[in-house]
Amino acid sequence: MAEGDPPFVIKKIRKIPHAHHGGSWKIAYADFMTAMMAFFLLMWLISMTTPEQKRGIADYFSPPNVSESTSGAGGVLGGTADDSQEAKLSGSNSNAQALTSPDSQRKSGPMVAVRGGDKERSGELEAQAAAITTASSSSVDVSSRFNQDFQGAAASIRQAWQAMPDITDLKDNLVVEQVKDGLIIKIMDQQGRPMFPPGSAQMYDATRKAVAAIAPVLQRLPNQIAIAGFTATGMTYPDPHRGPWELSMDRANAVRDTLGQYGLTDDRINSVSGRATNDPIFPDDPYMVANNRVEIKVLYQPPSVPPDMAP
């Protein structure tokens, strides 16, 4: 290097690698995404279930009801036994009263003890007790069976409607509900969405498809069917000879005819009637369009003779 030239400075930069941060955040993020996916999948499944299925799931996870007692030998029932009428059996009775469960009565007959030696009177009491026990147990079984049939039919009808994209807009016009004396299917007008043309008994195509879808379900039930038509107050009728009575009757008969075309036999029809403006859904506002409706009712009619008492 010549004298007087500036010196050269060489600066070396030494890079030190950073320490490893670990991958625990990746595991936490994966767990979070898995939980969110499971949550949205659960919400989707719940939205696809019917009210009857939701009640069944809730009943499955609900804890059993157990009555506790502080007397007896401890444990769940405290040394006592529950009969069907929630009577506690804890010891003997000096009057030798018969307090047995329905299961034991059906297997070994009712236990009736009478003071004294009147065998004839004892036999009469035994016969009466047996008849009461059999009738009560049969009525409970029949009622339970019909309730299950109605719940299954309601679920089948809703699923049949949900599977038809053509009637998706009519979900508020179609109502299925279980009442004390049967199952009711309501086909009613809504504001801007009538099920029949004004003043006509000719159904729209979507209405006809909705009625046709329930015919096979009703045919599988052993019950009778009653069909009734209703109209709202204040409707106008171009023909003075055809008013609410005629229109409601014609619409009910049109529903009956459609059900017959798609599988419901005539022997299943109990009645077809027109009720005009009687029995509105909204009594406080009989002018509401929802009072224009046809109701298909599956009648709850248990047999007059229980099955286990048939000759």
Q: What is the SS3 string spanning 15-30?
A: CCCCCCCCCHHHHHHH
The distance in angstroms from the start CA to the end CA of the chain is 131
The pTM score is 0.52
pLDDT value at residue 22: 67
pLDDT value at residue 213: 93
pLDDT in tens, the chain (311 residues): 556 677 777 777 777 766 666 678 888 889 999 999 999 988 888 888 887 777 777 777 765 544 444 444 444 344 444 444 443 334 444 443 333 344 444 444 443 344 444 445 455 555 555 544 444 443 334 445 557 778 888 888 888 888 888 887 888 899 998 888 789 999 999 988 999 998 889 999 999 999 999 999 999 988 999 999 999 998 888 888 889 999 999 999 999 999 999 999 999 999 999 999 999 988 899 999 999 999 999 998 755 555 555 54
pLDDT value at residue 306: 52
Task: Return the beta strands (E) in the chain as ranges.
Answer: 81-82, 88-89, 174-179, 182-188, 225-230, 269-274, 293-299
The CA-atom distances, in angstroms, between 247 and each of 5, 133, 237, 239, 258 are 117, 50, 9, 11, 17
| Domains contained in the chain, CATH given | 146-299 (3.30.1330.60)
Cβ neighbour number for residue 294 with a 10 Å cutoff: 26
Q: Is residue 263 within 8 Å of residue 219, measured between CB atoms?
A: yes
Positive or negative, the CA dihedral 23, 29, 30, 31 is positive
pLDDT value at residue 63: 59
Cβ-proximal residues to 155 (8 Å cutoff; 6+ apart), any chain = 50, 52, 53
pLDDT value at residue 204: 93
Calculate the dihedral angle through the C-alpha atoms of 176, 291, 249, 164, rounding to the nearest 10 degrees.
Answer: -40
Q: Is residue 77 within 8 Å of residue 69, measured between CB atoms?
A: yes
In the beta sheet, which residues pair with residue 81?
Answer: 89
pLDDT value at residue 50: 80
pLDDT value at residue 163: 86
Buried (b) or exposed (e) across 172-206, using 16+ Cβ within 10 A?
ebbebeeeeebbbbbbbbbeeebbbeeeebebeeb
Using alpha carbons, select from 214, 299, 301 the residue that is nearest to residue 259.
Answer: 214
pLDDT value at residue 18: 64
